Structure 1
Amino acid sequence: MQETTLTPSRSGFWSDLALWKKILVGMILGVLVGAVMGPDAEMLKPIGTLFINAIKMLIVPLVFCSLVVGVTSMQDTRKMGRIGLKSVVLYLGTTAVAITIGLGLATILTPGAGLNMSPAETAAVAKEAPTLVQTLLNMIPKNPINALAAGNILQIIVFALGLGIALTLCGEKAEPAIKVFESLAEGMYKLTELVMKLAPYGVFGLMAWVAGKYGLEILLPLAKVIAAAYIGCLIHVVVFYSGLISTVGRLSPVRYLKGLVNPAAVAFTTTSSSGTLPATIKAAREEMGVSKGISSFVLPLGATINMDGTALYQGVCALFIAQAFGIDLSMADYLLIIMTSTLASIGTAGVPGAGLIMLSLVLTTVGLPLEGLAIVAGIDRILDMARTSVNVCGDLMVSVLVGKSENELDEDIYNGIEPAPAKELA
């Protein structure tokens, strides 16, 4: 008599939905509930906060372990330097293009024209931004344990890179330590998978809160700013990123756009490129075929220094503030904005609200009134959603191009080709 094993049925409408579809449902329901409840929707914010806290729990150990494993898996320090150089050049180059797009759209749409504001009409909300020299000096942690505890991502990256290089140079003596980091990294990937199952519910809570708090009343007066930022973000991803994938990588841009749906949705709602890192790594490996070594090195690096969406937002907002206060900018000012935003992106944390600090640095550099930040702050959350999504899409694009250039991109996975089934023996 044959034994039968019973397995619980998991079929059902909700369980059969792909993660991105669940997230989309959560977003739509959140907006509807927030619109109906109004300010009372803030009572749903803890659901989103719970999800964000779970994501934040992953960031430091995931970045640290992923980078150490990524560096040690290369074995060749020259290869690591080559990949790092390619990544940084691509990240900074695309950032310069992004802010140029933002400036161009703000020039065409003139969102601040006709406001005729004066500095005395608003209150300054700027915080003192660190200088480039301070940012460079602060990259080296005086105490790595403090950097890990404080979640200073830039310092963590520097320490992880240094430790990874040292372990690689140690050879066989370092193999036990490398295996420990590999085991920890695998544990973090599994924990990430579990946390991501909470995404649709967290997204629902966050979107309900945003819709209830801001509503159409606060969006309408600044509709041009929002439109310019969102149009710019779409152009940058759909035209520029896809164009690079097609021309430089010789890959299908459609497959790239399909693969970024999940991480872009998470980035849109959490407004944290660092917090979206678990979803970004998962998409890079499983949807786009980027190798473990490349994704573990390029993506955590991009979560810190790639701020394309933030740079584009700064281009729009800087010109909006100049127009609102009736200040004419010269071509030299435009170039200064591009250069400052590109360099400042290196030290900007990938967390919600970091763009306002970076914007204050840009405004100060070109002599625009910092009082303008008070205007932008009201819709910063709405803009933050779009710019964070672009940051994450850029991280994925660079990982694909670097992986292709290093022959560490599985094009069968990228193109969605299923492995051929094994032939049955007669």
Structure 2
Amino acid sequence: MMRTQAEKKKSSYREPLILIAFVIVGAILGLTLGEKASVLYPIGQIWLNLLFVLLVPLIFFSISSSIANIADTKRVGKLLVLTIGIFVVTAAIAGIYMFAVTGIFGVDTSIQLDTSEVAAATATDSIGTQIVNTFTVSDFPLVISRSHILALIVFTVFFGLTVSVLGEQGKPVASWLSNMSLVFYKMVALLMKLAPLGLMAYFANLTGTYGPDLLKSYARGLLIYYPAAIVYFFVFLALYAFLAAGPWGVKNFFKNILTPALTALGTRSSAATLPLQLDACDKLGVPREVSSVVVPVGATCHMDGACIATIYEIALCCALFGHPLNSIGDFAFALVIAVAGSVAVSSVPGGGAAMETMVISAFGFPSIALPVLLMMTQLFDAGCTLINSCGDTVASMLVTRVLYGKDWYKKNLNKQEEAKV
């Protein structure tokens, strides 16, 4: 069994290590060939365009099929509303925290990438106009576009809920949505097998054009993100545990979270840690009727780590593309994008690409930003998974605190439920 777990951990890191290795090879080619590396640009751009084309149907079918196939929504309605509310609040806190970190330590500004594609209107729109244009569109053809990812998500959620409400009449549609989502999952999986080659070619061109300064941006990102993630893990998750159950909550949360935390770092998968998070919730006394909803839902849409990473990436792109955040409205808009993306897009397979696409479309960044951010996402992924998954356990504690009162951990709620049965 131990050998099998070791093999799984090794396998989980194989793909990102291969991807990083190919990017390094591309960077070396770019530094060696200089501007001649532009001959590789078409290979990278073709792969990128194929990814862009798949994003819209992937988001539509994956999210709508998940919602359309929910059974007995009334039974868990209150619990889900409370759960999503806590997810949004903690994600917003995570985003504000990362704004403070980037404000203190800054991001790399040693290079300025091409800004010719940047939409000037985005910088001058009011916060209200930006939110309206981000979450809605005025005509249906506009919603099926990667330029309006959040508007697409709003439409997709509404569509999925409508199918679910139809009950028996909606089942054929729900089944069709599930089958179509499987098709696009597979298409993305096949395309991602070409990711090392595509990103190698793209980064050869980038480093050939901009030189070693691009690599400095990644190094600085790692030096800022991982210490920030560690502080968030030990300070903010401890704070949430304290709010849920006082000093007892802090002590017992960290006592029971070690195995899930190490698994998250080892596998880079929130899904892989799910049974361990449920076990930790049992040991903490969280009732199973709570943990069985909060933890699985959290595995797909509670992404404080991703929100922290997204805020850093937004700040980085604003620096790289000469698109400064000048006002409270700009910061608020960035926070809305990061929180909405961390809660909504994270449930999509390959959600990293969807998240980055949403960011560049909302801010009008050029398409050259996507491969830059995809590489950053790979480097941040282990830290994101650690915070994302362990945050689900502490969120279960917070939900229990609201539903069962401040002394919930003294009531042995699971045994009470078993006695009723």
Q: Shorter-normalised TM-score: what interval?
A: 0.5 to 0.7
Q: 2:396 maps to which residue?
A: 399
| Matching of residue 306 in structure 1 with residue 327 in structure 2 | no
Distance 2:392 2:348 in 1: 15
After superposition, give the CA deviation of every residue in 1:53-74 in whole Å (9 maximum; x if it has no partner).
xxxxxxxxxx99xx87xx79xx
Flag structure 2 segments of 5+ consecutive residues without an equivalent: 23-65, 119-144, 164-169, 183-195, 204-211, 414-421
1:351 deviates by 6.1
Q: Which amino acid aligns with 1:133?
A: V
Q: 1:139 maps to which residue?
A: 160
Flag structure 1 segments of 5+ consecutive residues without an equivalent: 1-9, 40-62, 153-208, 415-426
Aligned mate of 1:242, from 221, 238, 242 = 238
Question: What TM-score, normalized to structure 1?
Answer: 0.58
1:387 deviates by 1.2
Q: 1:90 maps to which residue?
A: 86
Question: What TM-score, normalized to structure 2?
Answer: 0.59
Per the alignment, do residues 149 and 395 of structure 1 end up closer, same or farther by CA in structure 2, a change over 3 Å counting? farther
1:221 deviates by 5.0
Q: Which amino acid aligns with 1:381?
A: Q
Q: 2:372 maps to which residue?
A: 375
Q: 2:277 maps to which residue?
A: 280
What pairs up with 1:112-261 in 2 under 5 angstroms? Answer: 112-119=108-115, 129-131=149-151, 132-140=153-161, 141=163, 143-149=173-179, 221-250=217-246, 251-261=248-258
Per the alignment, do residues 412 and 262 of structure 1 end up closer, same or farther by CA in structure 2, a change over 3 Å counting? farther
1:339 deviates by 1.3
Instruction: Specify the SS of the correspondent of 1:318.
Output: helix
1:307 deviates by 1.9
Per the alignment, do residues 355 and 246 of structure 1 end up closer, same or farther by CA in structure 2, a change over 3 Å counting? same
Q: Which amino acid aligns with 1:134?
A: F
Greater helix percent: which structure?
Answer: 2
Q: Is the 8 A contact 1:271 1:352 kept in 2?
A: no
1:335 deviates by 0.5
Q: 2:58 maps to which residue?
A: none
Per the alignment, do residues 121 and 228 of structure 1 end up closer, same or farther by CA in structure 2, a change over 3 Å counting? farther
Q: Which amino acid aligns with 1:277?
A: L
Q: Is the 8 A contact 1:344 1:358 kept in 2?
A: yes
The Cα RMSD (Å) is 4.3
Q: Is the 8 A contact 1:277 1:303 kept in 2?
A: yes
Distance 1:264 1:297 in 2: 20
Q: Which amino acid aligns with 1:359?
A: E
Identity %: 20
Q: 1:324 maps to which residue?
A: 320
Q: Which amino acid aligns with 1:325?
A: F
Q: 2:287 maps to which residue?
A: 291
Q: Which amino acid aligns with 1:367?
A: G
Instruction: Specify the SS of the correspondent of 1:380.
Output: helix
Distance 2:216 2:252 in 1: 35
Q: Which amino acid aligns with 2:93?
A: V
Per the alignment, do residues 281 and 144 of structure 1 end up closer, same or farther by CA in structure 2, a change over 3 Å counting? farther
Distance 1:283 1:248 in 2: 15
Per the alignment, do residues 138 and 366 of structure 1 end up closer, same or farther by CA in structure 2, a change over 3 Å counting? same
Distance 2:256 2:216 in 1: 33
After superposition, give the CA deviation of every residue in 1:87-125 in whole Å (9 maximum; x if it has no partner).
121110011111112222223222221222224799xxx
Distance 1:410 1:103 in 2: 34
Question: What is the aligned residue count?
Answer: 299
Distance 2:93 2:150 in 1: 24
Distance 1:344 1:380 in 2: 14
Per the alignment, do residues 268 and 220 of structure 1 end up closer, same or farther by CA in structure 2, a change over 3 Å counting? farther
Distance 1:219 1:385 in 2: 20
Q: Which amino acid aligns with 2:256?
A: G
